[in-house]
Chains A and B, each alone.
Chain A
Amino acid sequence: MLFKNILGHDDTKRALIRSVQNNHVAHAQLFDGPVGGAGIALAWAFATFVNCEDRQPDDACGRCASCSKMRKLVHPDVYHIFPLPRTPKEGEDLLGELTPKWRAFLEEHPYRALPEWLAYINATGNQQGIIPIKESRSIVSKLSLKAFEGEFKIMLFWQPELLNVQAANALLKILEEPPEKTLFLIVSSQSDKLLTTIISRTQRVAIRAFTDEEVTQFLAQKGIDERRARQIAYLCEGNLAEAMRLTNETEDDRHAWFAQWMRKCYSRDFVSLVKLADEFDTLGKEKQKGIFDYTLNLFRDLFLWQNGVEELLRLQDEELSFVQKFGKAVNPGAIELLIQEITDGYYHLERNARAKVLFLDISLTAARTMRG
């Protein structure tokens, strides 16, 4: 992974490169950004740059022995810590066994979310992912070794928020006073869950979410057509893990569903609404939630449009014209009320309320209130 393979984030890249050039690399850095963001990729590119044998002004060379090992994440001076499905048994090196899978997982693409990883290693439903104390201890022993080839021993540590308090505490000392020529690159997507003692011992590298344009560009590189790419960008909110997941789904018909639903509410076509509720009931729960998600997104756009901040709309094409037409017709008070109803409905849906009743209830409220 080279810096140039990562879309955007020029400021962050420059700052990281400069820290090497100025000989001011902090030994423990927290790459802190949203799920499905550039955290892992940037840490990986940074590690590559640090150990590159022929550093260029703005990136690693990508050709030297170190770089080619880094490309496959098999560099002997790079250690990986990532969530395990369970606590290893006595004498079992679960981390070592899973490391090849971890490399393969990241080589596919490095914009990842925890559930994906757990699915990738076939974790069972109730395995949440943990980083046991034994793993934290093993870091200490590995790092006391001298670097084999590169200048630095590098610990790539994903999801430190899964450390329990005991394991996290075991890391404090080494984070504060690490062996020489050692770098901790810690990648977190929920830094609010980290122990403050860990945060205070690391230098934070703030990473923003990908923009809609970057998501679209990323998907285009993966061969997704532009229209679909934009649709996905709208839904995934800068999360490339989610974007990749959505590419595997069949063409999304949420907008069609939503538009049809709203038209029937608006025209108070109760017979059709009852039929629609039956249809809604037969959809899978994920699909149902997906429709509610979409509805909330669209209602937000309606809300923005009605309040004169059209520039914040992220929609295009038929969805945009839908919002513009619908926004003129629908009473603003109703939008606010319906947002609340959908939010409540979502809550009940997750708790196994009867989808049909829920849907009909929202439909009736919509029909009653929409016309201004």
Chain B
Amino acid sequence: MADNFVVSARKYRPVTFDTVVGQSHITTTLKNAIRTNHLAQAFLFCGPRGVGKTTNARILAKTINCQSLTEDVEPCGECESCVAFQNNASFNVHELDAASNNSVDDIRNLIDQVRYPPQTGKYKIYIIDEVHMLSSAAFNAFLKTLEEPPSYAIFILATTEKHKILPTILSRCQIFDFNRIQPRDIADHIEQIAKKEGIKTEREALELIAQKADGGLRDALSMFDLNVTFSTDNTVRYKEVLENLHILDYDYYFRLTDALLAGNLSETLLIFNEVLKKGFDGHLFVIGMLEHFRNLLVSKDSATVQLLEVSETAKNKYLDQSTRASLSFLLSALSVGGQCDINYKASKQQRLHVELCLMKMAKLTEVLDLEALAADEKKKPNVGAGPGGVPLASAQNDNNGSSPNAQGNPVNRTDANASSLPTTAEPTITYQNAPNGKGLPLGKLRSTVNLSTSITDTPAPTQVSKPVEVALDALPEKDLPVTMEALKEVWAEFSRMREQNGGAVSEQIMLNRDFLFENMTIELVLDNLHQETLLNEIKPTLLGYLRRKLQNRQIQLSHQIAQSDGKRNPYTPQEKFNVLAERNPALFDLQRLLGLEVDF
């Protein structure tokens, strides 16, 4: 270790305006000002970290003191002043780091120095870095000097936080806004440095570094250094950059999404485990997953696909996967994932928290497909259209038109299909609340998505993760006839399953009632709006179950709410109990826990 290794950001800090990366709007203006002798006495350099503010301040200082400027207005690098600058020995430049020297005393020292004109050269330059960190007393002490600087003094203030600078300062400075540096410029720049250092690079690796640097050249170079450090053969490769920078390869998200789309929960859990084993944080995984869904969403539309800031290879992958992921899947997944993100920190078992979220997502395709079928069946040729809002809405109008209204039923006729459809805006919330379009009180807030786990599948352990095709296979090519008897049996089966899975008491009350069945449509009379909410919540699951079990895709479900004056008083003991239990659900628990019969 004879020579100390110098990080690239320092070693290759530009020393002429021409070598500054990605800020040509600023270097050109500065050079023009020098050429035409219209240099301001106070500058404010604003912009994010690591984009060249201090560097440009130093180059400016060096340039205007150079004794023999080149024709191109660059410092010569050879004169006395330039050499002094290069050896960090110039008396004409003073740097103050306001982050650590922000007191009045620090600024007074600086002001004292301003009084003395330069002994050699034309200008004395004062660079105050992170100037927003100056205490307000220090600021005020400085203001006077800034207002009436001696002719030989030039102040360059640099800050990452322009909004924290007092208006009185702003008004006295020529302001330069530094840009984030474009990823391509960063990658190009690193490529040059790599060549000088004799390091081989993969372009994809450099692009990845540039992307991660988020416009900051210093960050990018520091990442580059890290990768060189860790390289065994002086080569920077994409795969190794992923490892070294601790970036999760987006391939994981592609695999994950494929597994989710196939409803393969165990695969998704294994992928998540793999990610954690590599040392990635669960929360970052969730955030990355949401980002991935967003990218898929954006890829669905040729107008928005431009928003993807990824390489061409990656873009094609997104485009490809986005054709397989339906809009409603993506929106629902974003919503489920969003909840997971929000509650992550508060969760006691964060890993489990994510795993449950993955379970909900793995169920999405199945749930959405069933819903789509429910709404879609009258429009069979509608193959290509996903279960998005529009086509379904029209399908469902058909239903309305063809639904028999023979009895001339008086009240609140609702087609629940309408409300159980996911709308494009807020999918999961729609899921839970859509039935509430009329401003009804909410039922117990619960996601249908997760409930369906236990309902549509038999509770045998391994079957939960079966691929979605199985569920679809179960739907027949040709519809079989449905008898009232069979329907009641399957209905009761469903009701029992809900109960065993901890369904709400009032849901049981809503389910355990007689109904009519005509023209393949189940007519249910509900007691109140609350029950309607509950029904709408489980309707997709219920219909899916009935259709599969009875091998008939035509089954419909409509309901009405009994008019209060037409409402029967409770008659049987069961009915009386139901009324009481609905008012006080604890009764139901009591009955169940103690195994009581309703017979008194």
B3 at the interface (CB under 8 A from A): yes
Q: Which single member of A26, A166, A293, A307 contacts B464 (CB below 8 Å)?
A: A307
Q: How far is the CA of A26 from the CA of B5 in the complex (A)?
A: 7
Bound-state CA distance A169–B347 (Å) is 33
B226 near A308 (CB under 8 angstroms)? no
Interface assignment of B481: CB less than 8 Å from any CB of chain A: no
Q: How far is the CA of A334 from the CA of B450 in the complex (A)?
A: 12
Which of B219, B222, B351, B359 is in CB contact (< 8 Å) with A307?
A: B359
Contact status of A180 and B4, CB under 8 A, knowing A19-B229, A307-B465, A327-B461:
yes
A50 to B273, CA, bound (A): 36
| Range of interface residues on A (Cβ < 8 Å) | 35 or more
Q: Which single residue of chain B is at the shortest CB-CB distance from A177?
A: B10
Alpha-carbon distance A292/B348, docked complex (angstroms): 10
C-alpha gap A181/B6 in the complex (Å): 10
Q: How close is A56's CB to chain B, nearest CB, in angstroms? A: 15
Which residues of B have CB within 8 Å of A25?
1, 5, 229
Shortest CB-to-CB span from A1 to chain B, Å, is 20
Let me know if B266 is at the binding interface, CB within 8 A: yes
**Binary per-residue interface labels of chain A (200-213) against chain B in the complex, 1 for a CB within 8 Å, 0 otherwise:** 11111011110000
A181 to B461, CA, bound (A): 61
Task: Decide: A197 and B49 in contact? CB cutoff 8 A.
Answer: yes
Q: How far is the CA of A19 from the CA of B455 in the complex (A)?
A: 57
Contact partners of B351 in chain A: CB under 8 A: 300
Give min CB distance, A269 to chain B, whole Å: 11
Residues of A with C-beta under 8 A to B462: 307-308
B397 to chain A, nearest CB (A): 35
Q: Which of B1, B2, B592 has the largest number of chain A CB atoms within 10 A?
A: B1
In the complex, the chain A residue whose C-beta lies closest to that of B226 is A203
Docked CA distance A15–B239 (Å):
16
We find that the number of chain B residues with CB closer than 8 angstroms to chain A is 62
B100 A181 Cβ-Cβ under 8 A:
no
Pick the contact of B97: A173, A206, A311, A371 (CB < 8 A): A173
Partner pick for A206 among B279, B454, B502, CB 8 A cutoff: B279
A22-B229, A169-B130, A369-B501 known; A331-B589 Cβ under 8 A: no
Most-contacted residue by chain B among A18, A136, A300, A308 (CB, 10 A): A308
Given contacts A18-B232, A197-B49, contact A303 B352 (CB under 8 A): yes
Residue A261 interfacial (CB < 8 Å): no
CB within 8 A of A368: which of B129, B346, B352, B502? B502
Q: Is B124 an interface residue (CB 8 A)?
A: no
Q: How many A-B contacts if CB must be within 8 Å? A: 179
Contact with A along B272-289 (1 / 0, CB 8 A): 010001110000000000
Contact A300 B464 (CB under 8 A): no
With A172-B99, A200-B218 known as contacts, the answer to whether A304 contacts B501 (CB < 8 A) is: no
**Known contacts A200-B219, A333-B501: A300-B465 contact under CB 8 Å:** no
Task: Name the A residues within 8 Å of B352 (CB-CB).
Answer: 296, 299-300, 303, 339
Q: What is the CB-to-nearest-CB distance from B53 to chain A, in angstroms, rounded to a whole number?
A: 13
Q: A332-B459, A333-B502, A343-B348 are in contact. Are A181 and B4 (CB under 8 A)?
A: yes
Q: How far is the CB of B225 from chain A (nearest CB, A)?
A: 6
- Do most interface residues of chain A lie in helix, strand or loop, or is the interface mixed? helix
A364 sits at the interface (CB 8 A): yes
Bound together, the chains give a CA A25 to CA B351 distance in angstroms of 36
Interface residue ranges of B325-354 to A (CB < 8 Å): 346-349, 351-352
Specify which of B5, B10, B232, B451 is in contact with A333 (CB 8 Å cutoff). B451
CB pair B349 A296 closer than 8 Å = yes
Q: Which residues of B contact A207 (CB under 8 A)?
A: 279
Task: Please give me the residue from chain B that is nearest to A55 by CB atom.
Answer: B1
A368 CB to nearest chain B CB (Å) = 6
In the bound complex, residues from chain A placing their C-beta under 8 Å from that of B222 are 26, 200-203
**Given the interface contacts A207-B279, A368-B593, does A331 sit within 8 Å of B49 by beta carbon?**
no
Given contacts A293-B348, A328-B461, A336-B450, whether A371 and B593 have CB atoms under 8 Å apart is no
Tell me how far the C-beta of B537 lies from the nearest C-beta in chain A, rounded to whole angstroms.
Answer: 15
> Contact: A307 with B229, CB < 8 Å?
no
B20: shortest Cβ distance to chain A, in Å?
Answer: 18
Q: Does B500 sit within 8 A of A, measured CB to CB?
A: yes
| Nearest CB on B from A242, distance (A) | 15
Q: A351-372: contact bitstring with B at CB < 8 Å (1 yes, 0 no)?
A: 0000000000000110111011
| A183 CA / B133 CA spacing, docked (Å) | 27
In the complex, 7 of the A-B residue pairs with CB atoms within 8 angstroms, ordered by the A residue number, are: A27-B7, A170-B99, A172-B100, A197-B49, A270-B593, A336-B450, A339-B356
What 5 pairs across the A-B complex have the smallest Cβ distances? A333-B454, A169-B99, A170-B100, A333-B501, A208-B279
A15-B229, A19-B229, A307-B461 known; 18 new pairs, CB 8 Å cut-off, are A15-B230, A26-B222, A170-B100, A173-B100, A197-B49, A201-B218, A204-B245, A209-B279, A296-B352, A308-B465, A309-B273, A327-B461, A331-B501, A333-B453, A333-B454, A336-B450, A339-B352, A347-B346
